[in-house]
A = this chain, B = another copy of it.
Amino acid sequence: MLNFDKVGGLISAIAQDADTGEVLMIAWMNREAFDETVRTNRAVYFSRSRNKLWRKGEESGNVQEVKGIFIDCDADAVLLKVKQIGGAACHEGYKSCFFRELTGDDLKVIGERVFDPKAVYGK
């Protein structure tokens, strides 16, 4: 059903707010992450930097409840429609990780902070 061979056992996973359509983040999934996501209806990714499963929200509590899973034509990417608990998907405290817009040669912050990362992660 999915092709995990293109990027070393990984596929791309996009999370989109199921209600508003806002694109929240993009991450990686290996087969195990995908299977657990399907089984639990909570988004599970694979962290390349930590080289392990990343159960989104396991630290912050901001889990993503999965409302729908869509597969692309090449079967190497999935789109999750999710309910983002806590209101913010980004570890920097913004609703979406795409909180900066390219404006001319500059990046302009267009997102609003939902939480203070220092308070949530204690760092």
Complex Cα gap A2–B100 (Å): 12
Judged by a CB distance under 8 angstroms, whether A114 is at the interface is no
A103 to chain B, nearest CB (A): 9
6 contacts between A and B (CB under 8 A): A12-B26, A23-B79, A69-B102, A71-B102, A71-B107, A73-B99
**B residues within 8 A CB of A9?**
none
**B residues within 8 A CB of A90?**
73
**B residues within 8 A CB of A68?**
101-102
Judged by a CB distance under 8 angstroms, whether A5 is at the interface is no
Judged by a CB distance under 8 angstroms, whether A84 is at the interface is no
Where the two chains meet, the residues of A that have a C-beta atom closer than 8 Å to any C-beta of B are: 1, 6-7, 12, 14, 16, 20-23, 25-26, 38, 48, 68-74, 77, 79, 90-92, 94, 97-102, 107, 110
Taking a contact as CB atoms closer than 8 A, the residue among B14, B73, B74 that contacts A14 in the complex is B14
Complex Cα gap A68–B79 (Å): 20
**B residues within 8 A CB of A91?**
73
